[in-house]
Chains A and B, each alone.
Chain A
Protein backbone atom coordinates (compact mmCIF):
# COMPACT_ATOMS: atom_id res chain seq x y z
CA UNK A 1 0.00 0.00 0.00
CA UNK A 2 1.31 3.40 -1.01
CA UNK A 3 2.14 5.64 1.88
CA UNK A 4 0.67 8.68 0.13
CA UNK A 5 -2.92 8.41 -1.11
CA UNK A 6 -4.61 11.12 -3.15
CA UNK A 7 -8.27 11.63 -3.89
CA UNK A 8 -10.14 11.93 -6.07
CA UNK A 9 -8.24 10.15 -8.81
CA UNK A 10 -9.79 12.52 -11.36
CA UNK A 11 -11.99 15.58 -11.22
CA UNK A 12 -13.85 17.69 -13.76
CA UNK A 13 -15.01 21.19 -12.89
CA UNK A 14 -16.27 24.23 -14.76
CA UNK A 15 -14.11 27.26 -15.28
CA UNK A 16 -14.44 29.74 -12.43
CA UNK A 17 -15.38 27.14 -9.84
CA UNK A 18 -13.33 26.21 -6.78
CA UNK A 19 -12.11 22.73 -5.96
CA UNK A 20 -10.21 20.87 -3.26
CA UNK A 21 -7.84 17.96 -3.73
CA UNK A 22 -6.95 15.62 -0.87
CA UNK A 23 -3.75 13.94 0.21
CA UNK A 24 -3.55 11.46 3.10
CA UNK A 25 -0.23 10.01 4.16
CA UNK A 26 1.15 7.49 6.62
CA UNK A 27 4.82 8.51 6.29
CA UNK A 28 6.31 8.96 9.76
CA UNK A 29 8.21 10.85 10.88
CA UNK A 30 7.52 13.41 8.25
CA UNK A 31 9.83 16.22 7.14
CA UNK A 32 7.81 18.18 4.64
CA UNK A 33 4.94 17.91 2.21
CA UNK A 34 4.97 19.25 -1.34
CA UNK A 35 2.33 19.81 -3.96
CA UNK A 36 3.37 19.73 -7.60
CA UNK A 37 1.46 20.60 -10.76
CA UNK A 38 2.26 18.58 -13.86
CA UNK A 39 0.90 19.72 -17.22
CA UNK A 40 0.52 17.07 -19.90
CA UNK A 41 3.84 16.38 -21.57
CA UNK A 42 5.83 18.47 -19.10
CA UNK A 43 7.80 18.01 -15.91
CA UNK A 44 6.26 18.70 -12.48
CA UNK A 45 6.39 22.24 -11.14
CA UNK A 46 6.48 22.94 -7.42
CA UNK A 47 3.46 24.78 -6.00
CA UNK A 48 4.06 24.66 -2.24
CA UNK A 49 6.38 23.12 0.32
CA UNK A 50 5.20 22.87 3.94
CA UNK A 51 6.94 21.64 7.07
CA UNK A 52 5.09 19.96 9.92
CA UNK A 53 4.80 23.28 11.76
CA UNK A 54 2.96 25.02 8.93
CA UNK A 55 -0.81 24.78 8.62
CA UNK A 56 -1.35 26.66 5.41
CA UNK A 57 0.61 28.08 2.51
CA UNK A 58 -0.61 29.96 -0.54
CA UNK A 59 0.73 30.44 -4.01
CA UNK A 60 -1.60 32.68 -5.96
CA UNK A 61 -4.93 30.89 -6.39
CA UNK A 62 -3.50 27.73 -4.85
CA UNK A 63 -3.75 27.23 -1.08
CA UNK A 64 -2.37 24.14 0.62
CA UNK A 65 -3.33 23.13 4.13
CA UNK A 66 -1.69 20.61 6.39
CA UNK A 67 -2.90 18.79 9.49
CA UNK A 68 0.11 16.88 10.78
CA UNK A 69 -1.95 15.26 13.54
CA UNK A 70 -4.37 13.57 11.16
CA UNK A 71 -1.73 13.30 8.42
CA UNK A 72 -3.88 15.05 5.87
CA UNK A 73 -3.25 17.81 3.38
CA UNK A 74 -5.48 19.53 0.89
CA UNK A 75 -4.88 21.74 -2.10
CA UNK A 76 -7.60 24.31 -2.73
CA UNK A 77 -7.83 25.97 -6.13
CA UNK A 78 -9.84 29.17 -6.29
CA UNK A 79 -11.60 30.52 -9.37
CA UNK A 80 -10.27 27.78 -11.62
CA UNK A 81 -8.92 28.56 -15.06
CA UNK A 82 -8.52 26.37 -18.13
CA UNK A 83 -4.77 26.38 -17.52
CA UNK A 84 -5.32 24.65 -14.19
CA UNK A 85 -6.05 21.44 -16.10
CA UNK A 86 -3.19 19.19 -15.04
CA UNK A 87 -2.17 16.41 -12.69
CA UNK A 88 -1.57 17.49 -9.09
CA UNK A 89 0.88 15.38 -7.18
CA UNK A 90 1.36 15.23 -3.41
CA UNK A 91 4.86 14.31 -2.22
CA UNK A 92 5.90 13.62 1.36
CA UNK A 93 9.50 13.60 2.56
CA UNK A 94 10.24 11.03 5.23
CA UNK A 95 12.64 8.38 6.48
CA UNK A 96 14.31 5.75 4.37
CA UNK A 97 15.85 2.67 5.97
CA UNK A 98 18.47 2.62 3.24
CA UNK A 99 19.64 6.20 3.72
CA UNK A 100 20.20 8.59 6.57
CA UNK A 101 18.96 11.34 4.30
CA UNK A 102 15.44 10.03 3.82
CA UNK A 103 13.34 9.78 0.68
CA UNK A 104 10.36 11.19 -1.17
CA UNK A 105 7.06 9.34 -1.16
CA UNK A 106 4.88 10.18 -4.16
CA UNK A 107 1.14 10.09 -4.50
CA UNK A 108 -0.35 8.95 -7.80
CA UNK A 109 -1.83 12.35 -8.49
CA UNK A 110 -5.27 13.82 -9.12
CA UNK A 111 -6.06 14.58 -12.74
CA UNK A 112 -7.97 17.86 -12.85
CA UNK A 113 -9.85 18.94 -15.97
CA UNK A 114 -11.33 22.42 -16.17
CA UNK A 115 -14.07 22.86 -18.78
CA UNK A 116 -15.07 26.20 -20.26
Chain B
Protein backbone atom coordinates (compact mmCIF):
# COMPACT_ATOMS: atom_id res chain seq x y z
CA UNK B 1 0.00 0.00 0.00
CA UNK B 2 1.57 3.25 -1.14
CA UNK B 3 0.78 6.05 1.31
CA UNK B 4 1.81 9.01 -0.86
CA UNK B 5 2.20 8.47 -4.59
CA UNK B 6 3.32 10.76 -7.37
CA UNK B 7 3.19 10.58 -11.15
CA UNK B 8 5.18 10.68 -13.26
CA UNK B 9 8.43 9.53 -11.66
CA UNK B 10 10.44 11.17 -14.42
CA UNK B 11 9.47 14.13 -16.59
CA UNK B 12 11.63 15.49 -19.39
CA UNK B 13 10.35 18.51 -21.26
CA UNK B 14 11.44 21.61 -23.13
CA UNK B 15 11.65 25.19 -21.96
CA UNK B 16 8.41 27.11 -22.28
CA UNK B 17 6.15 24.09 -21.92
CA UNK B 18 3.42 23.70 -19.30
CA UNK B 19 3.39 20.51 -17.24
CA UNK B 20 1.65 18.96 -14.27
CA UNK B 21 2.73 16.52 -11.56
CA UNK B 22 0.06 14.55 -9.75
CA UNK B 23 0.04 13.54 -6.09
CA UNK B 24 -2.32 11.31 -4.16
CA UNK B 25 -2.35 10.23 -0.52
CA UNK B 26 -4.44 7.43 0.99
CA UNK B 27 -3.69 8.27 4.62
CA UNK B 28 -6.81 10.35 5.20
CA UNK B 29 -4.66 13.39 5.95
CA UNK B 30 -6.04 16.90 5.72
CA UNK B 31 -2.85 18.68 4.69
CA UNK B 32 -0.57 18.25 1.70
CA UNK B 33 2.66 19.88 0.58
CA UNK B 34 4.96 20.33 -2.35
CA UNK B 35 8.73 20.49 -1.93
CA UNK B 36 11.57 21.16 -4.36
CA UNK B 37 14.95 19.47 -3.94
CA UNK B 38 17.74 20.98 -6.00
CA UNK B 39 20.87 19.32 -7.35
CA UNK B 40 22.66 19.95 -4.06
CA UNK B 41 19.94 17.97 -2.25
CA UNK B 42 18.60 21.04 -0.49
CA UNK B 43 14.89 20.66 0.31
CA UNK B 44 12.67 23.73 0.12
CA UNK B 45 8.98 23.83 0.89
CA UNK B 46 6.87 25.38 -1.86
CA UNK B 47 3.27 25.06 -0.67
CA UNK B 48 1.34 23.90 2.36
CA UNK B 49 -2.36 23.29 1.68
CA UNK B 50 -5.53 22.00 3.24
CA UNK B 51 -9.11 22.63 2.24
CA UNK B 52 -9.15 25.93 4.08
CA UNK B 53 -5.72 27.43 3.74
CA UNK B 54 -2.99 27.72 1.17
CA UNK B 55 0.41 28.82 2.43
CA UNK B 56 2.83 29.78 -0.29
CA UNK B 57 6.56 30.13 0.16
CA UNK B 58 7.28 33.68 -0.94
CA UNK B 59 10.19 32.56 -3.11
CA UNK B 60 8.01 30.40 -5.36
CA UNK B 61 7.36 31.98 -8.79
CA UNK B 62 3.72 32.40 -9.70
CA UNK B 63 4.30 30.04 -12.64
CA UNK B 64 3.83 27.30 -10.05
CA UNK B 65 0.35 26.63 -8.76
CA UNK B 66 -1.16 23.84 -6.66
CA UNK B 67 -4.54 22.44 -7.62
CA UNK B 68 -6.56 20.22 -5.31
CA UNK B 69 -9.57 18.41 -6.82
CA UNK B 70 -10.24 16.76 -3.44
CA UNK B 71 -8.67 16.17 -0.05
CA UNK B 72 -6.61 13.20 -1.24
CA UNK B 73 -5.02 14.94 -4.22
CA UNK B 74 -2.74 17.93 -4.67
CA UNK B 75 -1.39 18.44 -8.16
CA UNK B 76 1.38 20.83 -9.13
CA UNK B 77 1.00 22.86 -12.31
CA UNK B 78 4.01 24.60 -13.80
CA UNK B 79 3.66 27.10 -16.63
CA UNK B 80 6.37 28.31 -18.98
CA UNK B 81 9.03 25.94 -17.68
CA UNK B 82 12.56 27.28 -17.27
CA UNK B 83 15.93 25.54 -17.05
CA UNK B 84 16.15 26.41 -13.35
CA UNK B 85 13.00 24.44 -12.65
CA UNK B 86 14.95 21.21 -13.13
CA UNK B 87 14.88 19.46 -9.77
CA UNK B 88 13.19 16.66 -7.86
CA UNK B 89 9.72 17.59 -6.62
CA UNK B 90 8.31 15.83 -3.58
CA UNK B 91 4.75 15.71 -2.43
CA UNK B 92 4.02 15.11 1.26
CA UNK B 93 1.06 14.92 3.60
CA UNK B 94 0.30 15.17 7.31
CA UNK B 95 -2.80 15.10 9.49
CA UNK B 96 -2.71 18.85 10.07
CA UNK B 97 -0.27 21.62 9.21
CA UNK B 98 3.15 20.59 10.52
CA UNK B 99 3.32 23.89 12.34
CA UNK B 100 0.41 22.86 14.57
CA UNK B 101 2.08 20.39 16.89
CA UNK B 102 4.25 17.46 16.00
CA UNK B 103 2.44 16.38 12.88
CA UNK B 104 4.53 13.81 11.08
CA UNK B 105 4.96 14.31 7.35
CA UNK B 106 4.92 11.42 4.90
CA UNK B 107 6.71 11.98 1.62
CA UNK B 108 6.09 10.61 -1.84
CA UNK B 109 8.86 9.04 -3.95
CA UNK B 110 9.55 12.23 -5.90
CA UNK B 111 9.31 13.35 -9.52
CA UNK B 112 12.55 14.18 -11.30
CA UNK B 113 11.87 17.06 -13.67
CA UNK B 114 14.41 17.86 -16.36
CA UNK B 115 13.93 20.97 -18.48
CA UNK B 116 15.95 21.05 -21.71
- Taking beta carbons and an 8 Å cutoff, which residues of A are in contact with B? 31-32, 38, 41-46, 49, 51, 87, 89, 93, 98-99, 101-104, 106, 108-109, 111
Contacts and interface: CB of A to CB of B under 8 A. Distances in A.
Given A101-B97, A108-B42, A43 B4 contact: yes
B93 to A, nearest CB: 11
B58 interface: yes
B105 to A, nearest CB: 7
Interface string B86-116: 0000101000011110101111111000000
Contacts of B105: 46
Which 6 pairs across A and B sit closest by C-beta, in order of nearness? A43-B107, A101-B99, A102-B99, A49-B102, A106-B43, A44-B107
Looking at chain A's contact residues, the main secondary structure is strand
Nearest to B92: A43
B15 interface: no
Nearest to B43: A106
Looking at chain B's contact residues, the main secondary structure is loop
B45 interface: yes
Contacts of B43: 44, 89, 106
23 contacts: A31-B99, A32-B102, A38-B41, A42-B110, A43-B90, A43-B108, A43-B109, A44-B107, A46-B105, A46-B106, A49-B104, A51-B102, A98-B58, A99-B55, A101-B55, A101-B97, A101-B99, A102-B99, A103-B99, A108-B41, A108-B42, A109-B42, A111-B41
Nearest to B100: A101
Contacts of A45: 107
Nearest to B112: A41
B52 interface: no
Nearest to B4: A43
A7 B105 CA distance: 24
B41 A87 contact: yes
A99 B47 CA distance: 12
Contacts of A102: 99
Contacts of A51: 102
Contacts of B42: 106, 108-109
